[in-house]
Every structure is written in C-alpha cells, then in structure tokens.
Structure 1
Amino acid sequence: MDGDEGGLPRRRRIAPWQIAALYAVLAIVLAALGFGGLWRDLSLLPEPPASRWASLVTALPAAATVLLRRRAPRLGLGLAAGIFLADALTVGGLVPLLVVLELLHAVILRLAQRQRAAVLSWGIAVLVAVALSIQALLGDVQLTVLIALQLGALFGTTYWYANSVAQSRELVALYRQRATDLARLTELDRAAAVRDERERMASELHDIVAGHVAAVAIRSEAALSLHGPAHPSAAASAAAPAPATRAEDAHPERSALRAVRDSSLQAHEALRTMIAVLRDDPAAPAAAPLGRAQLPGLVAEARRSGLSVELHDGVSSALPAAVDQRVGRIVQEGLANSAKHDSGATVAVHVALRGGGVHVRVVSRGGRALDDAGLRGNGLGLRGLAEGVGAIGGRFRAGPVGSAWEVVAWLPLPESEPGGCRPAGRGAVLGDERA
C-alpha cells in the first residue's frame, strides 16, 4: 500500500498501474504453484476446477480494479468486493481478498473521522451478516466462527492501520495550520506593538513638545503686538517711512522676537509633519480609516480565524470621526485578543448610544488559550486603547468578569456629552488632530 494521500512527507509515489501489475504477477505465481481453493467449503461448484489457472479468471479482473485506487476508490472497492464474493463461491483464490483490503485502505484514507467511524459500524454489520450466511450455508458453527475470526482480523487490521495513518495526517495538517496561525498572530502582535509605540511617541510630541513650541510662537506674537503701535519708538518709526532694515536696527528686540516667532512656527510645522508620519500606518498607507463601517469586515475576519462572533450595532446615525475611529479600534483589539487568547470562543460585540455617548462592549466566553510564549500579550494594545479613550474624556475597562473576558468603553459625543467628563484642552486637541 502506498502513501499517496495526506500531509505527510512523501518518499516516492507508486502508481496504481504498478500496484495492479504486482497483484497480477502475484496471481500468476500463485496459480502456477497451484495455490487455490482457500474457500473450498464455500464453493458452489460440484467439483474443483481441473486447471490450476482457473483462479486467474477472478484474480486478474480484481487486480485491474486497483487502477481506480486514486480516481474512484469507492467504485473500485465495490467492484473488487463483488469479484471477491464470486471468487469465494467458486475457485477460492487469494488475490481478490488482498485487492479488497488494498482498496479498503485507500477509501478509509480519504474519509473524515465521522465517516471512518461509520465505515467501522458498517463493516461489523457486514461481518455479522457474512457469518450468518456461512452458518446457514454450511451448518458448521466451528467453521463459521473460524472464518468470521479470520475475516474480522484481516479487515480489522486494515481498518486500524488506515485509520491510524489518516489520524496522523490530520494531526500533521492541524499542527501546520496552527504554526501558520501562531506565526500570523505573532506578526500581528509585533505590528500592533510597533504601531502603539509610534502612537505613544506621536502623542508625547503632540502633547508636550508641540504644545511648548506653539506656546513660544504665541507668546512671541503677543510680545510683538504689545510693542507695536503703542510703543513710543514704534509710533515714531511708523510716522517716518524709513527702510525696514533701519527700523529693525532701531528696535533689535522686535527683530529677535520675529526670529523667535518664525523659528517656532517652522518647528511647529515640522513637528506636525513628524506626528503625521508617526501616526501613519506604513503597512497599509491606502487603507480607509477604521470605524463602524469596517465592523462587519472585522467580524468576518474573526469568524474565519475560528471565533463565533455576533455583532449588535444599535447606532444608526453618523459619529464624529474621532469617536468613530476609536469604536473600530476597540472592536478590532477585542476581537484580536479573543482570537489570540480564547481560540474558538463565542464573542458578542455591542455598540449602542448610552448616557450621551457611545457604549462599546466586547465579551468573550469559552475557547481555549493558545499555549505559546511568543503570543503572550504585553498589554500595549489595551494600554493604548485606555489612553486614547481617556484622551477624549471617555471611560475604559478591560478584564475578566466571571468566566468571560470583557472590554468596555464609553466615548462621549461632543454635542451631548456630560459636563466635566472631557478635558477641555487635551481631548479637543487630540480630536482635531486626528480628524
């Protein structure tokens, strides 16, 4: 029996015609040696065949059915079984029985686990029916039991071996798929960590450095305004149309303030460009911003990874860009964590309007963790979500609730947010910057 199916490494394939030729040669050799009459007690012929070559009448057609081993193994098995039955009731050769075992092995290799169990049940039923038929034909209990045990041992051994090979191939395919999934999840986790670090750097530049640089520009502009027309020397300079160079020579402090203001504005513009570069995703520069419109796609991708996901989106109106993007980011992170830490879990995603804002809830129940040290989270994703939600005055929580894992966020809507829940400065700047 060759190993032409499955996921195991193959040595050298043996073509079906080669196997058929081997069985044909075996049949000729056995016929030449006079090896026949194995089932003489079951023969319906009044006398044994006179010629030793009579067994080839059934042996060669049985060998020919091996040609169907790959393209139509079930058809080949049915034909071989019929030939074996005719052989057992006439000449009683060996090759038809071997061919039936060969094709039975090929059929079992192609069946799923449940189908293989069904074949075992049917095989036992057929064996019992054959034993009862032999008993009715011969009337000899001892001979019936002996033949039934022989056939049961042959078919049972063939089934056990083929089932073991099929299970090993399924395990190999499963481990290969698992390794592929783990590598993909590890890459996604690494990309998410890099993205979160870039976002953190962009936030620090925006909130600290850019703010101070902007403050320098504003204060220098204010100083120039204070020392404008109200300044006596400035008024005199304005009355006399002197060249700009002479006016600045007369008031070097104004020239210095203008230089400070211009340099601050240039630095602020450079920082804005740097922040935009850090917040851009280099892996998908042309991708649309993540939001509620992408939730069905996220759910479909999660289902393909083995999760059972239900989406309940109760928001019918459009959301502000900053809130909409954070909703998509929260759902994306929740589903990614479920796929990574709760493989096969049931996940419910709820998006609704509540308390003057948008309430997002991702609940994961059941599933099993993928036991791999490379996939253990570092918390950057959830920490980044918490910082982003807090930046616009929202609330965020993630953690176990009973036997489930829950990610919950509330994002205020600018037009109807509760008083005092959103920082007046930082939250508004972040929202404007991302919009």
Structure 2
Amino acid sequence: MTGSRGPQWPRWTPRVPRPRDRFRPGRGDVPTAAGLFVLGAFLYLAGAYPFFGGEGTFTVWSVPPGWRLLPLAGACAAVLVRRHRPVAALGAGAAFAAVDALFGFGIPMLLVLCELLHNAALRGSHRASRVLLRAVLFAAASAGVLALVVLHDGQAAVLLVILVLTVLFVPVWWAVELRRERELADAERARADQQATIAELDRRSAVAEERSRMARDLHDVIAGHLSAIAIQADAARSLREDPGAMEKVTAGMRENSLAALGEMRAMIELLRGPGPGAHDLPRTAPARLSDPGALLDSARAAGFDPTPLAVGDGRDGDAAAFLDPLPDGTPAAVELAAHRILREAVTNAVKHGRGPRLWLGARVRDGRLHVEVVNEMADGMFGGSTDEPTGGAAGAGGTGIGLLTMRERAAEVGGTITAGEHDGRWRVRAVLPLARTERDGRVDPGPAGR
C-alpha cells in the first residue's frame, strides 16, 4: 500500500520479527499467559474445573488435580509465541488440550484454547481463519454425537453442542469479523493516502504547467520588445549622420520600452491578484491579431521592409495580404496564439535573418487560420534545417526557446507549426483551427462543419 510518504504497512499488522525475535514474547503475552495459568491453577486446586457432566464424565484416566497443571503450563507456554506463530501456537495448545481431555474436560484448558483460537483467526492467514471456522463447527457436531452415543441423552447432546459453539465458535467468529473491519479500515486509509498522493501530483503538475505558461508569457510579452530595442540601438550607432532617421529609431526604442513596461506591469498585477475577481481577469496582456500595426512598425524600425504574403503559395487565387478579417466568434485563445506566433516569428526574422525583405500574412481558409512569415536567411541561419515541425534546431546564436514557445502555443489550441528552409528562405507556417467541438468546448483541429 502506498501513502503520501511512500509504501506503508497496514497499521494493524504486526511487524515482521527479526530471526532472534521469532520466539520472543510480544507485549502483553507474558501477563496473559501468567494470568491464565494462575486462574487455571486456582480452579484445579479448588475443584471447580469440570466443564460438562461433573467429575468423571468422559474421563479416561483419573489423576490428582495437581497433575493437570502440567498440560495447562504447556498450553500457557504456547501463548507466549502466539503473535509470531499464531497457527503453531494453536497446534501446540490443541495438543496439550487433547492430553488434558484424557483426564476429563476442564474449564482452565478451554479458556486457554479460546485465547489461542481467537489469536490464530485474527493473526493467521485467511485460509487458516476459514479452516478454523469449519473445524469448530465440525468439533461441535462431533461433541454432540459423542454425547449422544456415550450418555444416550439427546438433551445433553444438544446442550453440549451449544456449549462448544459458545466457547469455541464465538471467539473464532469474533476474530474473523474484527479482522474484516480492520482490513476495511486499512483499505480506507490506503485509499485516502492514494487520493492524497494523486492530489499532490496534480498540484505539482499544475504548478509546473503554470510555471511553463508564465515562462512563455514572459518570453512572448517581453522578449520581442527587448529584442527590438537591442536591434534599434545597434542601428542607431550607424545613423549618427542622419538626425531624422536617428530620431525615428529612438522613438521606436521609446515605444518598445513603454510597451514592455506596460505589459510587464499588467502581468505583475495579474500574478498578484488581490481582488476576489482576479480569476476573471485575462491571464496575459491583451493582444489582437487584427491590429498588426505595432508589429510592422517594429520591423520597419529595425530596417526591414514588411511585405504582404500570399498565404498558401498563391493557391486558389489567394491574394497577398497582411491579414484577412477574422470571422465572428473566433476563439480568443486562437487569436492570442496567432498573435504570439506571428510576433515571435517576426522577432526571430529580425534577430537572425537578413534584411531588408520580410514577408508575412494571415489568412482564413477551410475553417483554419493560416499564419506565415518568410525572410531571407543569413549565413548559417538555423543550420539549414528542413521544413519539419519545430523543436529541433536553434538559430545561430539563439537558444531555440522561440521555436519551442511557438510550437507550444499552436499545440494549446490544437494547431500545428513548421519552421525551416524553403526555396532558399526561412519560413514559419502555423495552422490553427477556428472551430470548437460540442463535446467539451476544446478547439477542434478539423475543418469547420465537420
């Protein structure tokens, strides 16, 4: 059984003894054995020991009461190992009880036998418990038959059967029920431990997922602006002789700085979430794919010339355009993912590509939103990787985080993304579904109306 702190044994099960402890009495065994022997000795010496029919009934040999203390002492010695060897202790006790029965049924020996029966049914195997129940029932029936044959008294036979069932069957039945209750309680504890473990794993998974989301948001929200600032600052160093261009570049740097600060502030306020309605706030700074102006201005400020792209290589008469109007009801998650992917692709093109040409566009076709960004490849850019799903190569001097975040953004809404060399240029292509399934509200990767 597994708990929240690893494997645990059932609480009621006795520990497995070491070899030197196998015959060492457990806690309470010595007082129990001593008490049974003292009580039995008192009953024997006081003469109040016959169990059924009085003195001489079912007696094979008559011996002085003092001699009967010997088998009683042996049976009480078996009590000392009842915890470690429950079935063996019962066997030894039954053997001494058989010897005592030759001298007539005695109450002291039956008390010891009841204790050993209860212990064997409680601590022995399940098979031993079932065998004991059947054995006690057989013993009761045999005692009734024996009484009927020897005494020729039906009433005495019935009375003996009732006495045997009361004295022997009840302890075994009680032990079986107690064991069943303990096993049920242990199963409930194990189930509670498993639920606690599952809850802890779910919590850790949620924390890891939240950390991953925060890392993507920080990269998408901040990295683009900081990359643009770095590129514009590098460009400003070569524009000292052109005050007009210098002013335009510095204005772009200021806009990107303010935008980065604003989006960082929005994210910090979101993470703090002091109000009761914090869960209703957007998880990131709002972004709209329908307004690519800031993205185009950032590319132009870095010395690139954004050009509308005929998404889909001009098939089906597609015309070149920066952006098609999005249909009504477009999921916000899809629009946000497309915006992040488009901005990350443009940022990577500005950082790693070769200007000044940059083609980009977004078009809705067949219930899907197609986003493409194409740029000239610089020497050694991305190691000449092929048009395969992202997640493989990182750009020269890059870490590959941008490609990874684009892939994760697309996967979150059920889309796909590829990035690689195409006709001597670097192309990023994303396909995002616009439809939702009626089953669970998740974005459906299939075409609309499927």
- TM-score normalised by length of structure 2: 0.47
Larger Rg, first or second structure (1 or 2): 2
